[in-house]
């Protein structure tokens, strides 16, 4: 039986007369997991720029309160199973003329798991904010989620090559140095795909991770050459725009590694997957 999700969009209405409104959060109910979560952007600069008179601090206080309330409701979700809209009116906001209002719940199937589902709807409804980070559920990119996105895009373009994308536990190793790609495919060259997320809360972690991978690839240069392999590093930048300089430095470090490799930023993922589906022979 497929698992389900119900979600409601929290909207800020600046002018009902003019129909001016912005999405500012999403309330999720995962009934099978008995989990309720509210997610919202860390940065509300989009609202501040659009409507300078809005009290962003007051808005943030509401959003924080909603997130905390959601975290307490999982154990009580069964009492709302036939009408999640009552959950909103009883636990969050009554339906009135205020500037913050939840939409009626939408119902859908889970997209893989809770993290993927939450990320999908966050991107769908809240991606225009400067810092796409939600509180309550950590939506930062992970190495695993990067590769999952890559594989999904490839198979959407050419589903018949699924059997030629390998997710076994293949490793590059020499002595105590081990490098584990996440996905591999072959067309004469052994292509090893590795997801590399730099979406950290501390910019020092970005540099440390880049140095680790650079040193691993340098040490394994001869193994890569002997296998006639290429390492494709699919990298994601940090959500926090303050760390973009550290991210650029990390890319420079990876480019300096000596092993045969390609660095693919997420913005270039569509073009990269186009080349993969073209090059895989079945």
Domain assignment of residue 193, given as a range: 143-279
Q: What is the DSSP string of 39-79?
A: E-BS--HHHHHH-TTS-HHHHHHHHHHHHHHHHT-GGGGGG
pLDDT cut 70: percent of the chain above it: 93
What count of residues does the chain have?
A: 282
Same domain, 76 and 161: no
Domain-located, residue 134: no
Domain-located, residue 58: yes
Domain-located, residue 251: yes
Q: What is the pLDDT of residues 43-99, one digit of tens each?
A: 777 787 777 788 888 888 899 899 989 988 888 888 887 788 888 888 898 766 678
Which of the listed residues 80, 95, 126 is the one where a domain comes to its end? Answer: 126
Burial class, 172, CB count within 10 angstroms (exposed 0-12 / middle 13-18 / buried 19+)? buried
Same domain, 193 and 74: no
Q: Could you give the number of structural domains in the chain?
A: 2
Of 5, 228, 215, whose CA–CA distance to 116 is shortest? Answer: 5
Q: pLDDT higher for 241 or 137? A: 241
**Looking at residue 166, what DSSP letter applies?**
B
Domain-located, residue 190: yes
Same domain, 70 and 154: no
Same domain, 80 and 187: no
Same domain, 30 and 83: yes
Same domain, 17 and 103: yes
Domain-located, residue 132: no
Same domain, 117 and 233: no
Same domain, 121 and 212: no
Domain-located, residue 176: yes
Q: What is the pLDDT of residues 179-234, one digit of tens each?
A: 999 999 988 789 999 999 999 888 899 999 999 999 999 999 999 999 999 999 99
pTM over 0.75: no
112: left (phi over 0), alpha (psi -120 to 50) or beta: left
Domain-located, residue 259: yes
């Amino acid at each position: 039986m497929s698992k389900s999700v119900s979600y409601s969009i929290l909207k800020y209405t600046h002018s009902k007369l003019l129909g001016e409104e912005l999405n500012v959060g999403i309330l999720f109910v995962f009934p099978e997991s008995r989990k309720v979560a509210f997610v919202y952007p860390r940065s509300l600069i989009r609202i501040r720029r659009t409507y300078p008179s809005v009290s962003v601090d007051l808005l943030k206080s509401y959003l924080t309160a909603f997130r905390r309330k959601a975290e307490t409701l999982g154990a009580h979700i069964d009492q709302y199973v036939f009408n999640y809209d009552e959950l909103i009116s009883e636990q969050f906001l009554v339906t009135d003329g205020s500037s913050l209002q939840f939409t009626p719940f939408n119902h859908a199937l889970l997209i893989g798991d809770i993290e993927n589902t939450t990320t999908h709807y966050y991107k769908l409804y809240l991606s225009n904010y400067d810092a796409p980070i939600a509180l309550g559920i950590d939506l930062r990119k992970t190495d695993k989620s990067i590769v999952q996105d890559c594989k999904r895009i490839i198979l959407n373009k050419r589903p018949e090559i699924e059997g030629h994308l390998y997710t076994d536990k293949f490793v590059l190793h020499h002595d105590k140095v081990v490098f584990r790609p996440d996905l591999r495919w072959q067309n004469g060259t052994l292509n090893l795909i590795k997801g590399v997320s730099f979406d950290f809360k501390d910019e020092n972690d970005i540099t440390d991770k880049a140095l680790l991978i650079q040193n691993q690839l340098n040490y394994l240069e001869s193994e890569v050459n002997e296998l006639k392999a290429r390492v494709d590093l699919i990298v994601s930048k940090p959500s926090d725009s303050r760390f973009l300089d550290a991210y650029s430095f990390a890319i420079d470090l990876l480019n300096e590694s000596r092993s045969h490799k390609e660095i693919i930023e997420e913005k270039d993922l569509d073009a990269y997957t186009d080349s993969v589906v073209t090059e895989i022979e079945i």
